[in-house]
Structure 1
């Protein structure tokens, strides 16, 4: 070590400085006076000297008793509620919540590799970077009220265990995507919500608003903890704020909910506020009130599954998008779904390498019957247009007259809205209209282009559908299509009658293209209805049945010529008639070309239609 001091110092002073420094830093020291080239004093380090800052050998350090005690407390929290409630889970085919979190966010591949290495006698080095992203917030919530290590607990009671206050929140990596998550612990007061759990839930939502990352709700809750409602029910930052935050998150980041048990009252609103909801057969249910409350209020006796099980919400209410066979299948469905979704509304949906369709596009024209009222399955056409194994259908059991789902065309994600002629001729019923409206609205929020496959006689008529709000729900479908600013392609597959062509993003609804297949027709109504409406009196005047039938056929052919797709193309109503075998390629080119199209809505606060 070399040190330079002022030139006015004496040699004796230089030697004193050198000796002191050598002792202190445990190194040889040379001291120079002023600008001198040679040292005025040199002092070697003492043989037994060591720097005062030297640390103790690493081998002497390790976890203290304090750290070990903390780890014991954490393990106790992770073990969940009373054992008697954990013991009941297998009979319900349920996983304990911590095992559920491992299923969703654990690194199975890494675990398998570690097991193989141990079996082979290979010693693995520790590496934090190999662990999957997973951390928890609020693990010690309510710790002071139940844990024996807390100074506030005089006597621990197993029945009063409240680890994490029954709610786990945090962030994790899920199939390559960073997500926020919450999960109820059903072993703690039946997954009920109370003050500290509510606080954790709200913080998780608020952090998702900041990060712009998706949210997973793994719900298994009986609702608010009635005997502890003070401090969380009616407060400004209480349980009611859940739904305020759900509304703010809606359309900003994907919210996906999986139900693992009967979610009652307030707990049932989270799944319906979510963008996508998955229920599990024989396990899930949601309802505004429990069967016991229903009986008390209305006198009706009903089982939970009949009140709000998967069958009810997948087929009747439309509140469930998908139904899983078991817990593993639920995770698989969500993993498939997120492959089509961006992290937030600022991003575009992910793409994948292109794959040829499962069935040849050359079979499209032969699939479509010439008669407009003959049935066929629109799924067969979809399979000939989209990449193989890419169609992911949503709400398949609800409003079956319309098919909705995500797919890829040449690797690009698209949302599909398709009439289903195999179901009531593809007429649009109230449930189908509502289903389509919500799907279009969600797809537009997350920048997913839309493909409409039109083959419908229009909106259904009749007294029952009027009672079921066909006008109101049809309005929502038309509104959603009108408001969507993503690229839209509309294909007139066969019949496009009445307001059906409006709802299916026809020429007036700002699509990037309207493509006709040679089987296409666009008209106010179909030939039979038109002839009956316009010529009924004249036909009734014809007494000879054969003459009448011949005249009807002439009128029918004349009308079909008037609404034929060639007439529509001649008048530039549609942009192009495409050979059915070329439909996939045509759509691929058009979606690629219009990928970055920009559309503006009129300046306003918002529309008046929900």
Structure 2
């Protein structure tokens, strides 16, 4: 068979393609670069390693099928493949090899199997019944959407990938049908779904038959909703995903954008200008910075295609295949830093900043912290980690960011993370050090009450094992959202630096004793009385008082915090918890 590749292909690249196709298809292959007639490279079909006679060799029908498959694997028109390097992205079949196969291997072997490879074959292929008017520019192999199954890091997954060389990865009837089948099968067999998105949206000129139908593109999001909390859904964005295509990443449990190529938005810059008059570039409208820092729709941003794969490999190591299964455990490793230094990390002064990740380095297994949405809602750290090999979800106030006060975006981020951990049986660890929910007109306009409510609701509804540590400040409703005693965690333990109260001493004295202090004319006497009141109040909220009144379960030496958490997570690993029998709550 003869295969044409771009004129820029080197002899080495042509030889690799020829060898791979000959090996996979068991036919002799000639690879021609550009518009030339003479082959740039050739390869001979290998002899099988089992005895055959001539009558048992593949016949013309099989040979023809192999040639048709090889043609499909070439993707869309060559001119669009030639543009991919300038866009910094891989051809979709090479991307699948990066994820699941041998980067130097046959592009047809990366997936365990593929469904719908021949979608729309009759509409474009020269050997089809309708192929008399074949034009290379009309190529739409697989309808621009690849679906199937693959093994990733030892795990079986459903896979979907757009082919950007086919009408910019746009979606039409056959591709939509393939997408829906994959989702519906994932619901039945309980295996994770990986979406490798690179789509410009629906094909507007072909919308009849897939847009408004019961089994059309709208069913994507119904199926996303049904899959949510059933199996992990992970989406990686490789291009500008617009309109309908942008909903898959936001419906996914985890979304990774790739720097320099990813974007998602409800409408394209051209449409935005037409509707609003605003002139804006795609990256500014919906690039990684927008969704990682401001909208919170992106969990992580990868440097390039290889980095995206590395991030997903780390992510899945914390997740089960399906709801109801325990997440995978790893071999225990000691923390990165000596737990005996834990007390030194936490300042004596309640209002002095420190970085909570310094505390994590002494509590969790070394190199196990996998933070999500690090640029969004920075006042709270949400991360997967391991404690003695056990995956846990960490919700930790970050005093290095605005004293760890809970702002609206941080509350929303934490609520979604808690909800996700609970769906996939990942135990929760709350590290509380917050002055509470932020006050002021700006946060009220940004729905601090509504988003705070969601955080508290998620904490209330979670039925996975939960441990809460009062590290330092636990003021106001902050202790409620952060898994305080009223929220039925398996344990609430405090460090000697801990305090639990309606508010901090300064605010309390100002609220209760302002008039009394104002009546003291002598400045020195007023300062002395103020200090007395401060110390009295601090004794009331001190962690020892809370332990004395059995508000909390134990006060723990900081150097033993890791050991204490190991023991408590082990002991409560199989605890049975439930919520009241009801259809569902009304708080989203």
In structure 1, the partner of 2:218 is 240
CA drift at 1:600: 1.3
Q: After TM superposition, give the deviation of residue 58 of structure 1 in Å.
A: 3.5
Q: Aligned partners of 2:503 and 2:221: how far apart in 1?
A: 43
* Alignment-derived partner of residue 146 in structure 2: 168
- Counterpart for residue 247 of structure 2: 269
Normalising by structure 2, we get a TM-score of: 0.90
TM alignment of 1:139-538, pairs within 5 A: 139-538=117-516
SS in 1 for 2:131: coil
| Number of aligned positions between the proteins | 537
Match of 2:74 in 1: 79
Distance 2:175 2:54 in 1: 41
- Counterpart of 1:428 in 2: which secondary structure? coil
How many Å apart are 1:60 and its aligned residue?
A: 3.6
- Counterpart selection for 1:67 from 52, 62, 87: 62
Distance 1:253 1:585 in 2: 32
Counterparts of residues 133-144 of structure 1 (less than 5 Å): 134-144=112-122
Q: Which runs of 4+ in 1 moved over 6 A?
A: none
Match of 1:36 in 2: none
Residue deviations 1:54-92 (CA, integer Å, cap 9, x gap): xx9745420111111111110110000001100000001
* CA shift for structure 1 position 546: 1.4
Which digits, 9 at most, give the CA deviation of each residue in 1:146-168, with x for residues without a partner?
00000122210111111000000
Residue of structure 1 equivalent to 2:39: none
Q: 1:541 aligns with which of 505, 519, 522?
A: 519
Q: What do residues 482-504 of structure 1 show as CA deviations (whole Å, max 9, x unaligned)?
A: 00000000000000000000000
Measured after TM superposition, the shift of residue 193 of structure 1 is 0.1
TM-score using structure 1 length:
0.87
Distance in 2 separating the partners of 1:280 and 1:181? 18
Aligned-pair CA distance for 1:133? 5.9
Q: Does the CA contact (< 8 Å) of 2:97 and 2:110 recur in 1?
A: no
Alignment match, 2:95: 100
Deviation at 1:107, TM superposition (A): 4.1
SS of equivalent to 2:113: strand
CA contact (8 A) 2:96 2:111 kept: no
User: 1:398-450 CA deviation, whole Å, 9 max, x = no partner?
Assistant: 00000001000001000000000000000000000000000000000000000
Rounded to whole Å, the distance in 2 between the matches of 1:510 and 1:527 is 27
Q: How does 1:53-64 map to 2 (within 5 A)?
A: 58-64=53-59
Query: What is the match of residue 571 of structure 2?
Result: 593
Paired with 2:496 and 2:52, the residues of 1 have a C-alpha distance of 84
Say if 2:339 and 2:559, in contact at 8 Å, map to a contact too: yes
Question: Deviation per CA, 1:313-348, whole angstroms, max 9, x where unpaired?
Answer: 000000000000000000000000000000010201
> 2: distance between equivalents of 1:61 and 1:200?
34
**Separation in structure 2 between the aligned mates of residue 98 and residue 488 of structure 1, nearest angstrom:** 43
Distance change (3 Å), C-alpha of 1:368 and 1:330: same
> Matched residues in 1 for 2:112 and 2:533: separation?
70
Using the alignment, how far apart are the partners of 1:273 and 1:285 within structure 2? 15
Report the Cα distance in structure 2 between the residues aligned to 1:532 and 1:103, rounded to whole angstroms.
61
Alpha-carbon separation, structure 1, partners of 2:543 and 2:102 = 55
| Alpha-carbon distance between aligned partners in 1 of 2:494 and 2:192, rounded to the nearest angstrom | 38
CA distance in 1, matches of 2:523, 2:68: 91
Corresponding position of 2:84: 89
Structure 1 unaligned blocks of 5 or more: 1-55, 115-130
Contact kept? 2:72, 2:142, Cα under 8 Å: yes
Question: CA offsets per residue over residues 113-148 of structure 1, 9 Å max, x none?
Answer: x9xxxxxxxxxxxxxxxx876210000000000000
Rounded to whole Å, the distance in 2 between the matches of 1:375 and 1:417 is: 18
- Counterpart CA distance in 2 for 1:384 and 1:57 is 64
Q: Distance in 2 between matches of 1:544 and 1:371?
A: 28
Q: Aligned Cα RMSD in Å?
A: 1.4
CA contact under 8 A between 2:234 and 2:255: conserved in structure 1?
A: yes
- CA distance in 2 between counterparts of 1:57 and 1:505 reads 69
Which ranges in structure 2 are unaligned for 5 or more consecutive residues?
A: 1-50
Could you report, residue by residue, the CA deviation over 1:566-606 in whole angstroms, capped at 9, with x for unpaired residues? 00000000000000000000000000000000111101000
Residue of structure 1 equivalent to 2:24 = none
